[in-house]
Structure 1
Amino acid sequence: MEALAHAAFEILERIILGTARVLIPLASNGRWRCDEPSTRTAPRPSGLLSYQANGQRFITDTGQLLVGVVFYAVTGGAFILSLG
Structure 2
Amino acid sequence: MTDFIVAALWTVLELILLVTGRLAVRALTLGRWRNAELRRNESRILGAAGALSFKVAGQRVVTETGQIVAGALFYVAVVAGVVLWVHSF
Please, what TM-score do these two structures have when normalized by structure 1? 0.85
What amino acid is aligned across from residue 3 of structure 2 in structure 1? E
Q: How does 1:1-84 map to 2 (within 5 A)?
A: 1-41=2-42, 43-46=45-48, 48-84=51-87
* Aligned length, in residue pairs: 84
Per the alignment, in what secondary structure is the counterpart of residue 83 of structure 1? helix
Any unmatched runs of 5+ in structure 2? none
Distance 1:62 1:83 in 2: 32
Q: Which has the higher contact order (CA 8 A, sep 6+)?
A: 2
Structure 1 unaligned spans of 5+: none
Deviation at 1:39, TM superposition (A): 3.3
Q: Which runs of 4+ in 1 moved over 4 A?
A: none
Greater helix percent: which structure? 2
> Following TM superposition, by how much is the alpha carbon of 1:18 offset from its aligned partner in structure 2, in angstroms?
0.3
Q: What TM-score, normalized to structure 2?
A: 0.80
From the superposition, tell whether residues 41 and 61 of structure 1 become closer, same or farther in structure 2 (CA, over 3 Å). Answer: closer
Among all aligned residue pairs of Structure 1 and Structure 2, give the percentage whose two residues are the same amino acid: 31
- Cα RMSD between the aligned structures? 1.8
